[in-house]
Amino acid sequence: MARWPPSGLGAFRMREASDRRCDTEDRKHIQRGIRMTFLDHSVKGIARYLLDEALGGEPLHLHISEVGPGERAHPPHRHGGLEAFYMLEGEGTLEIDGESFLLRANEAAVFDPQKLHGLVNRSAAPMRYLVVLAREAGHQARPGE
């Protein structure tokens, strides 16, 4: 299994958080995630915290997925836009067009989602990761996106 990042794809490792704080009183753009369990998937051990419900049709989608040991969020798939994963806890195997890359906690990957891709938890512990998906304006989400 290759280590992330492969050449040509963006990736970064987060550093320790600094003590900088946001002291603004304007918090209208900050919202809590809404926990929901997948009802349209037959896979067990997966939950999403939707973070973008209040964006009102904006082309940016954010959610946090939790995937149990030995599970995957959904089968490998492709779609338009640009996608990034940030591993919050655990580790997962990012599969892109037949290649596998280990993604560990505090690592991120940015990739072309038009390539066949998916993230699977091959470890014995749960994995939790943030998904950021930028779509073209006017995109209508299909089940599984």
pLDDT-derived band at 17 (thresholds 50, 70, 90) equals very low
Quote the tokens at residue 135: 């779509």
Per-residue pLDDT reduced to its tens digit, 21-53 = 444 444 444 444 444 444 344 444 555 555 544
Which CATH number among 3.30.70.420, 3.40.50.300, 2.60.120.10, 3.40.1280.10 corresponds to the domain 40-140?
A: 2.60.120.10
In the three-class reduction of DSSP (H, G, I as helix; E, B as strand; rest coil), residue 139 is classed as coil
Residue 36 sits at φ, ψ, to 5 deg, of -145, 145
Residue 54 sits at φ, ψ, to 5 deg, of -85, 5
Q: pTM for this one?
A: 0.63
Q: Average the pLDDT over 92-117 and give the result.
A: 92
The verdict on whether omega for the bond into residue 75 sits within 30 degrees of 0, i.e. cis, is no
